[in-house]
C-alpha cells in the first residue's frame, strides 16, 4: 500500500462524527451485535472526549462532561475507561499510532529508494508532508487531535513522557537519516534542529489563529497546504546553516 493510500485508510479508520449522531432506530440497534454496539459506543466516547480535551485540556474536562456530549450515562464511560487518565491516554494513543506508523513507513521507503543519496530536504519533506497531509485532509477529528498533541507536548509534568512513549522511534529515525545526509554535522546541532522543527510543527497543529491576526488575513493558521509548501524547505535551510 502506498503512503497516500495509507493516509486515505487512516482517515477512514479514525474519521469521527463532527456532530452528535441522531438516536439510532430500534431496528438498526437490534441488528447490531453486542460487540458492534460496544465498539460504536466506544468510538463515540473517544470522538467526543477528543473534542473536549482539545478545547479544555486534561484538567478542564470531567467524565460527566464527556458522557453528556456523547449522550451516554456517565457510568458507561467509567465502565469502558475506568477513569479520566485512562480515557485521555486512549484518546491520545488512538491517532498517535496512525501518524507514527505512517511517518515511519514513509521514512523507511524514502531511505530505501534514496539509499546513497539522502538529503535533509528529502527527509524533512517525507516526515513533515506526510503528517501535514493527514491533519490537513483528515477532517475535524484530526485537527482536534493536532491541537491536543500540541497541548500534551507543552505539558512538562506528564506530557513529555506521553510524547516519548508514542513518538521517539519515528523521531530518532528522522534524526538518523538527517545525520547520514549531513555526516559532517554534530549530533548536538542535529538534535537542536529537530527541536526547532518540532516546535514549528506543533505550533501549526495548535491553530491558535495568531498568524491570521498578525498578517491581517493574508495567512490562515488552518491553511495546511500553505504550511506544507514552505515548512520543510525552510527547516532544511536552517539545518544547513547550523550544521556547517
Could you give the angle at the alpha carbon of 161 between the alpha carbons of 159 and 166, nearest 5°?
100
Question: Helices 3-14 and 140-153 meet at what angle, rounded to 10?
Answer: 90
pLDDT per position as a tens digit, 75-101: 999 999 999 999 999 999 999 999 999
Compute φ and ψ for 216, nearest 5 degrees. 55, 40
Q: Give the pLDDT score at 11.
A: 54
Chain centre distance of CA 122? 21
Chain centre distance of CA 173? 17
Q: What does the domain layout of the chain look like in residue ranges?
A: 93-242
- Cβ–Cβ under 8 Å, residues 66 and 137: no
- Cβ–Cβ under 8 Å, residues 220 and 124: no
Q: What is the mean pLDDT of residues 215-228?
A: 97
**Counting beta carbons within 10 angstroms of the beta carbon of residue 203, is it exposed (0 to 12), middle (13 to 18) or buried (19 or more)?**
middle
pTM for the full predicted model: 0.84
Alpha carbon distance 57, 109 (integer Å): 36
Homologous superfamily in CATH for domain 93-242: Tetracycline Repressor, domain 2 (1.10.357.10)
- Cβ–Cβ under 8 Å, residues 142 and 95: yes
pLDDT per position as a tens digit, 35-71: 888 889 999 999 999 999 999 999 999 999 999 999 9
Alpha carbon distance 65, 63 (integer Å): 5
Q: Give the pLDDT score at 34.
A: 80
Q: Give the pLDDT score at 29.
A: 54
pLDDT per position as a tens digit, 97-132: 999 999 999 999 999 999 989 999 999 999 999 999
Q: Give the pLDDT score at 19.
A: 43
In order of 3, 4, 127, the CA distances from 227 in angstroms are 19, 18, 13
Nearest C-alpha neighbor of 126 from the set 186, 170, 185 = 170
**Cα dihedral 180, 185, 187, 191 sign:** negative
- Cβ–Cβ under 8 Å, residues 189 and 243: yes
pLDDT per position as a tens digit, 163-208: 999 999 999 999 999 999 999 999 999 999 999 999 999 999 999 9
- Cβ–Cβ under 8 Å, residues 70 and 44: yes
Amino acid at each position: 500500500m502506498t503512503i497516500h493510500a495509507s493516509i486515505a485508510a487512516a482517515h477512514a479508520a479514525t474519521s469521527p462524527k463532527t456532530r452528535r449522531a441522531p438516536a439510532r432506530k430500534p431496528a438498526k440497534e437490534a441488528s447490531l451485535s453486542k460487540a458492534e454496539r460496544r465498539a460504536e459506543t466506544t468510538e463515540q466516547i473517544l470522538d467526543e472526549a477528543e473534542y473536549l480535551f482539545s478545547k479544555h485540556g486534561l484538567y478542564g474536562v470531567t467524565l460527566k462532561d464527556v458522557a453528556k456530549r456523547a449522550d451516554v450515562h456517565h457510568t458507561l464511560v467509567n465502565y469502558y475507561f475506568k477513569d479520566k487518565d485512562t480515557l485521555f491516554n486512549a484518546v491520545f494513543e488512538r491517532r498517535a499510532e496512525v501518524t507514527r506508523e505512517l511517518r515511519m513507513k514513509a521514512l523507511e521507503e524514502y531511505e530505501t529508494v534514496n539509499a546513497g543519496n539522502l538529503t535533509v530536504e528529502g527527509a524533512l519533506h517525507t516526515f513533515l508532508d506526510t503528517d501535514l497531509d493527514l491533519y490537513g485532509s483528515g477532517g475535524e477529528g484530526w485537527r482536534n487531535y493536532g491541537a491536543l498533541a500540541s497541548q500534551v507536548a507543552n505539558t512538562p509534568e506528564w506530557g513529555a513522557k506521553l510524547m516519548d512513549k508514542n513518538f521517539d522511534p519515528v523521531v530518532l529515525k528522522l534524526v538518523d537519516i538527517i545525520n547520514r545526509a549531513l555526516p559532517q554535522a554534530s549530533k548536538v546541532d542535529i538534535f537542536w534542529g529537530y527541536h526547532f522543527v518540532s516546535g514549528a510543527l506543533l505550533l501549526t497543529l495548535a491553530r491558535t489563529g495568531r498568524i491570521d491576526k498578525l498578517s491581517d488575513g493574508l495567512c490562515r493558521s488552518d491553511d495546511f497546504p500553505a504550511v506544507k509548501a514552505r515548512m520543510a524547505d525552510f527547516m532544511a535551510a536552517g539545518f544547513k546553516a547550523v550544521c556547517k
